[in-house]
Structure 1
Amino acid sequence: MSKWSDDDVILYDGVCIFCSRWVRFVAARDTAKRFRFTPIQSDYGAKLARAFGIDPGDPDTNAVVHGGEAFVKSDAALTVLSQLPGWGWVRMLFAVPKPLRDRVYSLIARNRYRIFGKYDACFVPDAELRARVIE
C-alpha cells in the first residue's frame, strides 16, 4: 500500500451504523487517544480513500493508516484492535489466511446497510470524540 503522512487515522463510512459503532468502540477503548477518525464522506476522507484505491462513492472497506501504511479490510480491523489495551491477543488472528479473513469481512461489508441500517447523514459524535475527527 501507499504511504500517508498522517498516522493512526481510521477511515470509515460515516452513514453506516455499524461503522459508526466501530468508531465509538475504538474511541472508548483507545485510552491513549492515538487514533483519529475521518468519515469517507468528508473532503479529507475522500482524498485518503482515493489515495488507497477505495471508491468514496461506494466504499467496500474501512481502512487505517498505521506506521505510515494503509491497511484495509480484515488487516485494518485487526491492526486497530491489536493496538488497543487488552486486545493484543487478536494479533494471533493474522495467522488465519488473509483470503479467508477478507472473505468474511467482505460478506459483512456488502450487507452492512441491510443488517445494521444506514443514517441519512454522517453521524455526529459527542464533543470529546468530535475533537478526534478529521474532516
Structure 2
Amino acid sequence: MSHSTDDPKESAIVLIDGVCHMCQGLTQFIIRRDPRGVFRFASLQSEIGQELLRQGGMSESSIDTMVLIENGKYYTRSTGALRIARRLRFPWSLSYVFILIPLFLRNLVYRWVARNRYRWFGQSSECMIPTPEIRRRFLP
C-alpha cells in the first residue's frame, strides 16, 4: 500500500484532462508506479485545477496538455511527462534520458498524440471516479 508524502519538496501535482480516457489511464499508470505517493492529481476542468492554472499564469482552457507542478514550477507537454517518469519506480525512471532530445521534437510528438487522444482512446462525459484508496491522491 502506498502512502502520500506530506513533504512539499517531495510532492508534486499533476493536472490532467479529466474526461480523456488516455489521461485517466496514465493517471492510474502513475499511481501504480509511485509507491511513495509523490504525485497528487486534479482534473484540469475542476475548480482546483482551474485555480492552479490561474496561479501558474496559464490559460484556464489549457486542456491540450497535462501540467506538472513541482516546487512551484509548472511543466507542460513532454517536459512535464518526462519529469513525472523520472520520479517513477525503475525502469520507468530511465525514460528521463529522452529529455536530451530537443524540446521542439519532443513536443511535436506530444502535440500529435494530444490532438488524436480522443479519437484513439475516447472520452467520458465526466471525470473518472477513483476508488477510495486512490481518492486520497486527488485534490479536493
- Normalised by the size of structure 1, how large is the TM-score? 0.89
Aligned length, in residue pairs? 131
Structure 1 residues 58, 95: closer, same or farther in 2, change over 3 A? closer
Q: Deviations over 1:47-92 (max 9, x none)?
A: 1123335443451100111232111000010000110110221121
CA distance in 2, matches of 1:74, 1:57: 19
Q: Give the Cα–Cα distance (whole angstroms) in 1 for the partners of residues 57 and 106 of structure 2.
A: 20
Partner of 1:41: 45
State how far apart, in whole Å, the 2-side matches of 1:66 and 1:12 are: 15
Structure 2 gaps of 5+ residues are: 1-7
Conserved? CA contact 1:15–1:118, under 8 Å: yes
Q: Are residues 1:72 and 2:76 paired?
A: yes
One of 20, 24, 49 as aligned partner of 2:24 = 20
Q: Aligned pair in 2 of structure 1 residues 107, 54: CA closer, same or farther (>3 Å)?
A: farther
Q: Which of 1 and 2 has higher RCO (CA within 8 Å, sep 6+)?
A: 1
Moved over 4 A (4+): none
User: Counterparts in 2 of 1:59-98, with a 5 A limit?
Assistant: 59-86=63-90, 87-98=92-103
Report the counterpart of residue 103 of structure 1 in structure 2.
108
Structure 1 vs Structure 2 CA RMSD: 1.7
Q: Could you give the per-residue CA deviations for residues 106-128 of structure 1, whole angstroms, max 9, x where no partner exists?
A: 11111111111000111101111
Aligned residue identity for 2:18? G
